[in-house]
Amino acid sequence: MPIVVFGSTVVLKLVERFPLIIHAGAAVLAFTAAKMIVSEPLLEEVFDESTRRWAAYGTAVVGVLAAGWWTSRRERGAMTTMRTAESAAPPRSRGKHGLMS
């Protein structure tokens, strides 16, 4: 157990320092998934050419990385909108008994 805890702590610190590790991991997983799809015996006629195989690999990797970029950008935009709305809200006043209304 201590080895697992220590190892996960090291990985977490590396990811915090180098966020590119997350993107590299996603790219490796996408490449592996594409490789599994391309090597499927039922699809060997579709991916008989090496050009199509590499196109499938590239499409999977670029698609996953683009989806991650789009999602993080959308979440950042939502957070910015929330912060803007919070700063534009009128200040809350205290009522007659000193309670927030």
Q: Locate the domains of the chain by residue range.
A: 18-39+48-80
Which pLDDT tens digit goes with each residue over 10-66? Answer: 999 999 999 899 999 999 999 999 999 999 999 888 888 788 899 999 999 999 999
Residue length of the chain: 101
- Residue 63: per-residue pLDDT: 97
Residue 3 backbone class (left: φ over 0; alpha: ψ -120 to 50; beta: rest): alpha
Cβ–Cβ < 8 Å for 34, 57: yes
pTM summary value: 0.65
Tokens at 94, concatenated: 């205290």
- Residue 75: per-residue pLDDT: 85
Residue among 9, 10, 63 nearest 37 (CA): 63
Cβ–Cβ < 8 Å for 53, 40: no
**Could you tell me how far CA 71 lies from the centroid of its own chain?**
7
